């Protein structure tokens, strides 16, 4: 479900200002969650409450209560509800009851085939033990509003892909199942869609395209970029793509997760944690548990005068290992850096050469350091602002070299590096 929220946030700015640039800025300043996230939380709350109570019918009345409650509590900071769904939420008497043809006296489904049913369904793909039950409950979640066959089909297809992905099915197996079961054409290329796709808020004009972005992606970030850069209803496309990509790759770069988690209210964080911690989705828990919201993130202090056992001081050096100034001198005098060793681990220090040329010459040494930290989880690595002292580099030149370190929980970065990486 976190993947859906991430996709929503990443696509939020581009919903009404489409981009075709694959390398678009991931988090412009106004990025935030939209109605897609709000309703995703409502469906998750409903499904988990029903499951915990042993309820098998999954009643619409409770889902309606969850939707109305969360919509009133959290007005969308970005985006907005579709016209009929807004009336259904806030002015149901303005709609017509399809069963009587008269003004509605209660909230009734309004035969929608819009993509709202598909964007809010992701939690259901995680909650159930069989594909049949997953599709059944997904259909119920859609039909409270989107009771048109296409609206139901869109929700069922997205939930089915999430279920198949998280239980080990490959992309080709997923593709074949969705084409056969739901009749979607998944043979268009992303390149063709990137050039020709236009706004379409229907399930049938959103779900296949979102799934193609996933099928042609190589990881979570590329999936999001492919979805958003198609244009169209960007937040909903990326919401669906992000949801299925999360289930398949089961890995989200922490710089992406941290940014999105930092934007969410406590109730939404609690629902994410409930889904992660519950027996419903143990595989979800194994990686979301490692993400720390940005507001709770630890940073390397400006001054380090002592180290605890297992802590490592990471500093900028020169290839000759002449530790005569700056952080290198501190490493040599206090933390056991060896004179004459300019690369790697000595004492409670790790040396990264920064004096041999431009910033790109530092990259392979940072890569080696990250690899070393990954195989030494027993250590905690305090990375200083390497290269930003005597070597003369700026934080903006060095920070991008540590992008891969954001996924490594025992590597602690300076706040200046982290802030730069979060804006990329």
With residue 182 as reference, give the H or E element that holds it: helix 171-182
Nearest of 239, 246, 272 to residue 162 by alpha carbon:
246
3-state secondary structure 364-407: HHHHHHHHHHHCCCCCEEEECCCCCCCCCCCHHHHHHHHHHHHH
* Residues 244/212, Cβ–Cβ less than 8 Å: no
Q: Say if residue 34 carries a ligand binding annotation.
A: yes
Nearest of 87, 111, 82, 115 to residue 201 by alpha carbon:
115
* Pairing verdict, β 344-346 and 411-412: unpaired
CA distance 42 to 277: 18
Q: Say if residue 97 carries a ligand binding annotation.
A: no
CA distance 155 to 139: 6
Q: Say if residue 233 carries a ligand binding annotation.
A: yes
3-state secondary structure of 350: strand
Beta bridge partners, 315, equal 351
139 burial level (CB within 10 Å; 0-12, 13-18, 19+): buried
Q: Say if residue 235 carries a ligand binding annotation.
A: yes
Q: Sign (positive/negative) of CA torsion 320, 324, 326, 330? A: positive
93 burial level (CB within 10 Å; 0-12, 13-18, 19+): exposed
Count of C-beta atoms within a 10 Å radius of residue 75: 9
Count of C-beta atoms within a 10 Å radius of residue 32: 18
CA distance 415 to 329: 22
Q: Say if residue 35 carries a ligand binding annotation.
A: yes
Task: Report, in angstroms and rounded to the nearest whole number, the Rg of the chain calculated over CA atoms.
Answer: 24
Q: Say if residue 236 carries a ligand binding annotation.
A: yes
With residue 411 as reference, give the H or E element that holds it: strand 411-412
Q: Which residues are annotated as a binding site?
A: 34-36, 233, 235-236
Q: Which residues are annotated as a binding site for Mg(2+)?
A: 34-36, 233, 235-236
């Amino acid at each position: 479900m976190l993947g859906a929220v991430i996709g929503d946030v990443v696509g939020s700015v581009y919903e009404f200002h489409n981009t075709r640039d694959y390398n678009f800025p991931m988090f412009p300043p106004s990025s935030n969650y939209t109605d897609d996230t709000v309703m995703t939380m409502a469906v998750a709350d409903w499904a988990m409450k029903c499951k915990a109570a042993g309820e098998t019918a999954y009643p619409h009345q409770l889902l309606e209560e969850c939707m109305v409650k969360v919509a009133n509590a959290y007005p969308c900071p970005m985006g907005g509800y579709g016209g009929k769904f807004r009336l259904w939420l806030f002015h149901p008497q303005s709609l017509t009851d399809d069963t009587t043809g008269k003004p509605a006296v209660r909230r009734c489904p309004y035969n929608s085939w819009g993509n709202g049913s598909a964007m809010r369904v992701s939690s259901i793909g995680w909650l159930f033990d069989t594909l049949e039950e997953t599709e059944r409950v997904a259909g119920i979640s859609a039909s409270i509003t989107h009771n048109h066959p296409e609206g139901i089909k869109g929700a069922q297809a997205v939930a089915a892909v999430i279920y198949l992905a998280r239980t080990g099915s490959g992309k080709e197996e997923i593709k074949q199942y969705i084409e056969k079961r739901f009749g979607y054409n998944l043979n268009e290329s992303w390149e063709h869609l990137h050039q020709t796709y236009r706004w379409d808020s229907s399930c049938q004009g959103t779900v296949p395209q979102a799934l193609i972005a996933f099928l042609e992606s190589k990881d979570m970030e590329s999936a999001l970029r492919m979805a958003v850069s198609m244009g169209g209803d960007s937040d909903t496309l990326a919401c669906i793509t992000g949801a299925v990509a999360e289930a398949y790759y089961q890995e989200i770069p922490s710089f992406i997760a941290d940014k999105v988690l930092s934007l969410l209210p406590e109730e939404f964080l609690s629902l994410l944690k409930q889904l992660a911690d519950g027996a419903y989705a143990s595989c979800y828990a194994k990686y979301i548990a490692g993400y720390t919201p940005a507001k709770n993130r630890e940073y390397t202090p400006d001054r380090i005068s002592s180290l605890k056992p297992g802590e490592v001081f990471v500093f900028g050096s020169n290839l000759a290992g002449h530790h005569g100034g700056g952080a290198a001198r501190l490493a040599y005098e206090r933390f056991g850096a060896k004179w004459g060793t300019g690369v790697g681990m000595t004492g409670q220090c790790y040396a990264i050469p920064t004096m041999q040329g431009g910033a790109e010459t530092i990259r392979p040494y940072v890569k080696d350091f990250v690899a070393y930290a990954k195989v030494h989880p027993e250590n905690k690595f305090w990375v200083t602002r390497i290269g930003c002292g005597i070597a003369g580099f700026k934080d903006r030149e060095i920070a991008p070299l540590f992008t891969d370190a954001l996924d490594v929980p025992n590597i602690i970065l300076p706040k200046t590096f982290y802030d730069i990486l979060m804006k990329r």
